[in-house]
Amino acid sequence: MRRELAVILFAVCIVVLHQSLAAAHLAGAGNTTSCTGFNRTEDRSVTFWYSSLDNVTAEAANWARTNSIDPTDVNTSGASSSSSADVIVNDANYTTYCGYNWHSTGTTVGLARCTTSHVSGNFQGYCDQHNIYIDTSYFSGTTQFNQRALLAHEIGHTIGAYHETGTTVMVVNLPAPTTALGTHVTNEVNAVFPP
């Protein structure tokens, strides 16, 4: 049994302000498109589409890709269309999307979710397309550091990173201590996405 299979049911890919979650590893072929499952993108080349983002969200996404994700063996680039994108980034003042209590009344400020998974072929079970959702009511009232960390965190989920403890952007509590994925996650990412 591959290690990834053991952690599928553990997946909860939300960021909350005050909640703890145990450390985990890297998601594999989760074969889920639910609001709570994980399955990482299929390979190291990850294309992005920004869905009419606020400038500040787009800037944070660009920053996170360049400084937190691209230093790993994953390479991000712009997609030629939304339909072909591996990751679509969305922002809005969410309230109850996916059943969570978003920032206006609750603590959820970001979400990464696989919306289309590969149902057959070499990448069966891996995610064909993720969507990231960023809460604008949180975003507009927080620091640039937190904005960058939130995007790095959610993009980290799309390449398989689970929540971690310690000095990594994948901690579940905000504010994150750093915008970096950290050695543990980076090593695992590089192991599953060899150049």
Q: Please state, in angstroms and rounded to a whole number, the distance separating the CA atoms of residues 30 and 38.
A: 5
* Nearer of residues 12 and 92 to Zn ion, judged by Cβ: 12
Q: Please state, in angstroms and rounded to a whole number, the distance separating the CA atoms of residues 69 and 74.
A: 7
CB of 7 to Zn ion, least distance (A): 14
Beta-strand ranges (E) seen in 82-166 are 87-92, 110-117, 127-135
CB of 122 to Zn ion, least distance (A): 28
* Nearer of residues 21 and 192 to Zn ion, judged by Cβ: 21
* Nearer of residues 15 and 74 to Zn ion, judged by Cβ: 15
DSSP states of 49-91: EE-S--HHHHHHHHHHIIIIITTSS-EEEE-SSTTT-SEEEEE
CB of 11 to Zn ion, least distance (A): 10
* Nearer of residues 15 and 87 to Zn ion, judged by Cβ: 15
Q: Please state, in angstroms and rounded to a whole number, the distance separating the CA atoms of residues 108 and 9.
A: 20
Binding site for Zn ion (CB under 5 A): 15
CB of 153 to Zn ion, least distance (A): 6
Cβ-proximal residue to Zn ion, closest one: 15
Residue count of the chain, please give it: 195
